[in-house]
Chains A and B, each alone.
Chain A
Amino acid sequence: MNPQPWWRTLGHRALVLVAVVYCLFPVYFMLVQSLKTAREDVFGNPLIVTNPTLENFAELFEPSGEPRGFVGRVLQRSYPFFVWLENTLVVFTGTLALTLGASVAAAYALGRLRPPGFRWLRRVIFATYVIPQTILFVPLFRVVHTLGLDDNLLALVVIYPTMALPFCVWMLSAYFEHLPREIEEAALIEGAGRIQAFVRIILPLSRPVLVAAGVFTLGTIASDFTLASVFLLSDINKTVPAGLGSMEVALDELLAVAGINLMAIPVVLISAVFARDYVRGLTAAMLEGA
């Protein structure tokens, strides 16, 4: 490759810098606020923290049930944050397992077994994205009630997969469809069953696409605030987003920001670990077009 002229390298670097600042600044800002004392929050420079403290984080984990103190004459209530974290873990793990299981099964059916009309079926599944979510939760309440899942974490485990399934099925089935038949047939000839051939050959091959589906699912379900607040009513059944939404922001702004960071850090770390495979998986799934 011919060397770049200096002004091009410089321009590229400048643009990269702008992009990085644009992407990181809001996250940086939230991190800085969560490390502040109430005093510094009001009087300090909003962009930096001079005396970083973890007291906001510690306060989140204080035993709940007792009022924490007063702001003026207003009672500050305490929050069962640790329970919220546990609930979020349960909901996210359950949703991920259900979404990946269901979409791999459906994608294998569409991409490898190809029942009549499979292309149309795949399109219909993807087309569910056009259904307007706005007031869908009203009839959804009836479904949840019929299933006996009122104010139950399992309600979210049932609802969340539908936010990510259409794209995951689309991606995985496109990938499965374009794997050459021979690789499976070789295993079948050697006496392996279809299931064995799938587990031993197709699944390992599609690791990046599975990772891509998983990361997409995590990012999608972690963006929901509305459904969690609608379906989880009692305080001890809330997930972190629903719980933070129920906080008195005017009184507990620093606490809420600390909670945001505590929820975000694990999710971001998991996504970052798989980021490379995420891109690789998207590329692999899209190479042929679906």
Chain B
Amino acid sequence: MTPAIAARTRRQREIRVAYLLLSPTLLLLLAVLGYPLAWEIWASFTNFSPLQEGATRFVGLTNYRQQLADPQFWQAATVTIVYAAVTSVAKLGLGLGFALLLARPFRGRALVFLAIFLPWAYPASVSVIGWFWTLNPPLSTAYAPLMGQLKFAVDGVLGDGAWAFISVTLFNIWRGSSFVGVLLLAGINAIPPELFEYALLDSKSACQRFCAVTLPLLKPFLALGVFLTLTSAFTDLANVWMLTAGRIVFPVIGTHAYWLAVEGGRFGLASALSLTLVPVLLGALLGLFRLFDRPDPGGA
């Protein structure tokens, strides 16, 4: 065998091994996400419903058209986008603050770091239960009257269910800012210290240095933080929805889809509804990829 052929067969074996090693991950993703997603897309083009008699029919874009014509959909979409935007901005702002507080050494930094790490490390599946029932107490504990008054005041202004919704928002920000803070701290640690020294020579104000050096270099981390916490924002909402068996009546795309699917049995419509979020998230993801795949000077 000539060396060239030997190298090529070795490369081909490497590629086969690579696919073999990838197979567990791909199988899991296909079974748990791929197939259900395909089913959901299929269902969104039909009138599928377990409650209905007769065969399922293909209805084309009817479900999507019906959603877009529904004022309730637009209300839910607005609430969803505002919720995502408000939680993301708050998490980024607080997280950046935490990371900057921890960026320089000081006495007790390790302990402060642990405190800031705690909200994310505390398992959300149970802390959300405590959080939600504390702000919406079901019986008379010592703090129940205060919470009840808050609830009535807020619901009176913003409508039924607003206080429950706000408590989820606060919870999501509390936990997410901890995650973003730790992630950004890791990002700040990744900035070469020389850059800070150059910046120190170059400009006098801390603000200028922050805007010229820290912020641009942190951009990919900020994007990653937003993206990862965005998915958790919807997880938290779903958790509370499940916990309270639908007590949150504030319209969000996710909960609206739940109603249609679980209560009304209208899976086609619900599928179409929940898929409307995909283009938005996909756009955000493409932005993230652009931030990460900067032209590599090493040319790797």
| Max chain A C-beta neighbours (<10 A), residue from B29, B134, B275 | B29
- With A43-B142, A102-B25 as contacts: A114 and B271 at CB distance below 8 Å: no
Provide the bound-state CA to CA distance between A218 and B31, in Å: 21
Provide the bound-state CA to CA distance between A224 and B110, in Å: 29
Contacts of A219 in B (CB 8 A): 120-121, 123, 179
Pairwise interchain contact B278-A16, C-beta atoms closer than 8 A: no
Pairwise interchain contact A127-B143, C-beta atoms closer than 8 A: no
Q: Which residues of A (182-197) have their CB < 8 Å from a CB of B?
A: none
| Max chain B C-beta neighbours (<10 A), residue from A127, A131, A162, A169 | A131
Asked whether B17 is an interface residue with its Cβ less than 8 Å from the other chain, the reply is yes
- With A115-B19, A143-B32, A225-B239 as contacts: A132 and B123 at CB distance below 8 Å: no
Contacts of B25 in A (CB 8 A): 102-103, 105-106, 125, 165, 169
Contacts of B37 in A (CB 8 A): 131, 136
- How many residues of B are counted as interface, with CB atoms below 8 angstroms from the partner's CB atoms? 104
> How many whole Å from B16's CB to the nearest CB in chain A?
9
> How many whole Å from B173's CB to the nearest CB in chain A?
10
Asked whether A161 is an interface residue with its Cβ less than 8 Å from the other chain, the reply is yes
Asked whether B164 is an interface residue with its Cβ less than 8 Å from the other chain, the reply is no
> How many whole Å from A181's CB to the nearest CB in chain B?
11
Residue of B nearest to A2 (CB): B200
Contacts of A213 in B (CB 8 A): none
Contacts of B113 in A (CB 8 A): 275, 279
Asked whether A68 is an interface residue with its Cβ less than 8 Å from the other chain, the reply is no
Partner of B126, one of A19, A229, A241, A251: A241
> How many whole Å from A110's CB to the nearest CB in chain B?
7
Asked whether B227 is an interface residue with its Cβ less than 8 Å from the other chain, the reply is yes
- With A106-B25, A113-B15, A260-B130 as contacts: A222 and B185 at CB distance below 8 Å: no
Partner of A101, one of B24, B140, B236: B24
Asked whether A58 is an interface residue with its Cβ less than 8 Å from the other chain, the reply is no
Asked whether B187 is an interface residue with its Cβ less than 8 Å from the other chain, the reply is yes
Provide the bound-state CA to CA distance between A278 and B114, in Å: 12
Pairwise interchain contact B18-A249, C-beta atoms closer than 8 A: no
Pairwise interchain contact B190-A271, C-beta atoms closer than 8 A: no
Contacts of A27 in B (CB 8 A): 118-119, 122, 127
Pairwise interchain contact B18-A115, C-beta atoms closer than 8 A: yes
Q: CB-CB contacts of A261-275 with B at 8 A, as 1s and 0s? A: 001100110011001
Asked whether B234 is an interface residue with its Cβ less than 8 Å from the other chain, the reply is yes
Pairwise interchain contact B123-A279, C-beta atoms closer than 8 A: no
Pairwise interchain contact A130-B115, C-beta atoms closer than 8 A: no
Provide the bound-state CA to CA distance between A22 and B224, in Å: 24
Asked whether A290 is an interface residue with its Cβ less than 8 Å from the other chain, the reply is yes
| Max chain B C-beta neighbours (<10 A), residue from A101, A245, A267 | A245
Partner of B24, one of A16, A33, A106: A106
- With A110-B22, A165-B29 as contacts: A136 and B117 at CB distance below 8 Å: no
Partner of A161, one of B28, B175, B253, B294: B28
Q: Which residues of B (252-300) have their CB < 8 Å from a CB of A?
A: 253-254, 257-258, 261-262, 267, 270-271, 274-275, 277-278, 281-282, 284-285, 289, 292-294, 300
- With A127-B285, A138-B267 as contacts: A253 and B141 at CB distance below 8 Å: yes
- With A134-B253, A223-B232 as contacts: A162 and B126 at CB distance below 8 Å: no
Asked whether B139 is an interface residue with its Cβ less than 8 Å from the other chain, the reply is yes
Provide the bound-state CA to CA distance between A140 and B285, in Å: 24
Asked whether A44 is an interface residue with its Cβ less than 8 Å from the other chain, the reply is yes
Provide the bound-state CA to CA distance between A268 and B126, in Å: 12
Provide the bound-state CA to CA distance between A114 and B22, in Å: 11
Partner of A289, one of B138, B186, B253, B294: B294
Partner of A158, one of B32, B36, B232, B293: B32
Contacts of A240 in B (CB 8 A): 125-126
Provide the bound-state CA to CA distance between A85 and B128, in Å: 18
Q: Which residues of B (134-192) have their CB < 8 Å from a CB of A?
A: 134, 137-143, 174-175, 178-179, 182-183, 185-187, 189-190
Pairwise interchain contact A132-B39, C-beta atoms closer than 8 A: no
Pairwise interchain contact B21-A16, C-beta atoms closer than 8 A: no
- With A101-B24, A226-B242, A268-B122 as contacts: A134 and B254 at CB distance below 8 Å: yes
Pairwise interchain contact A289-B33, C-beta atoms closer than 8 A: no
> How many whole Å from A225's CB to the nearest CB in chain B?
4
A-B contact pairs, 15 of them (CB 8 A): A23-B178, A33-B141, A115-B19, A127-B285, A129-B281, A134-B238, A136-B40, A138-B261, A140-B32, A161-B28, A229-B242, A253-B137, A267-B123, A286-B187, A289-B293
**Shortest beta-carbon contacts, A-B, top 3:** A222-B123, A282-B186, A241-B125
Residues of B near any A CB (own CB < 8 A): 14-15, 17-22, 24-26, 28-29, 31-33, 35-37, 39-40, 43, 97-98, 101, 106, 110, 112-131, 133-134, 137-143, 174-175, 178-179, 182-183, 185-187, 189-190, 220-221, 224, 227-228, 231-232, 234-236, 238-239, 241-243, 253-254, 257-258, 261-262, 267, 270-271, 274-275, 277-278, 281-282, 284-285, 289, 292-294, 300
17 new A-B contacts, CB < 8 A, other than A165-B28, A222-B124, A272-B121, are A19-B97, A24-B115, A27-B122, A109-B17, A110-B18, A113-B21, A118-B18, A130-B278, A132-B234, A134-B254, A225-B125, A225-B126, A226-B235, A241-B125, A272-B114, A276-B110, A289-B292
